[in-house]
Amino acid sequence: MTLRHDVCGDGPALVLLHSAVCDRHMWDPQWPVMCDAGYRVVRCDFRGFGDTPVADRPYGDAADVAALLDRLGLERVALVGSSHGGEVALEVAATRPEAVTALMLLCSAMPGHVPGPELRSFTARKNALLAAGDITGAVELNVVTWLGPEAGEEVRAQVRRMQRHAFEVQAGAAYSSAGAAVDLARITAPCLAVSGAHDLGDFREIAASLPRRLSAARHLELPWAGHLPGLERPAVVTELMIRFLAETVPPG
């Protein structure tokens, strides 16, 4: 099964990996700009998100992304990942270090991370709402938790639509993504790890730790951001992407 995806532009390959709160359309603000900036841009939906159906057998999101890259003939790629998409990007970069040219991680999760009290509390509340059949309550909990103070009502409505769709598609699904044990020290690509000052502590700590874990990583905290800065201030994040990629993978 191939992940649903979009491809545009010409030049070095750039792959955009979405948060587990959203789907590939979270990149709508960045998509046309990066497509015009001299990159061949790919964005995809993980299984159970957007237009990709749930799995009918055990799977891993990173393995699915690697299979998509092979299908598209992309031997060298820059990866930009948001939250869970960042975790997937780290796994791909650790298992295929020779294939990844650059990593930009927005409020990324991390393979092997043990959740702290804040994240455990959120997960327990979300799971309780879903178990009770209260999808609306679970959606609102996600919107309140993951969007920072800069997010306007239009962005909140967009996240509501994406998250509700994911919850509805995933209801009763037999399988969820299983991450692999990976050695992050194998990652050689330059990395920009971005955190948001209004995000949960888990994700701020992950971003701050990556320069110690990776050979070529640096950390940037955005004082205005929550967990989804690419939606909260899209123009600022687009400019960050353009500048970082210009330094590491210049456009064609």
In order, the DSSP letters of 117-164 are: HHHHHHHHHHHHHHHTT-HHHHHHHHHHHH--TT--HHHHHHHHHHHH
Mean pLDDT of the region 68-77:
97
Measure the CA–CA gap between 232 and 82, rounded to whole angstroms. Answer: 13
Helix (H, G, I), strand (E, B) or coil at 205: helix
Confidence class for position 173, pLDDT limits 50, 70, 90: confident
Position 181 scores a pLDDT of: 85
Domain interval for residue 201 = 5-248
- The predicted-structure confidence for 7-52, as pLDDT tens digits, reads as follows 999 999 999 999 999 999 999 999 999 999 999 999 999 999 999 9
Measure the CA–CA gap between 138 and 234, rounded to whole angstroms. Answer: 25
- The predicted-structure confidence for 73-102, as pLDDT tens digits, reads as follows 999 999 999 999 999 999 999 999 999 999
CATH number at residue 80: 3.40.50.1820
Measure the CA–CA gap between 232 and 57, rounded to whole angstroms. Answer: 35
Identity of the amino acid at 174: A
Helix (H, G, I), strand (E, B) or coil at 222: strand
**Cα angle at 116 between 110 and 122, to 5 degrees?**
95
Domains contained in the chain, number = 1
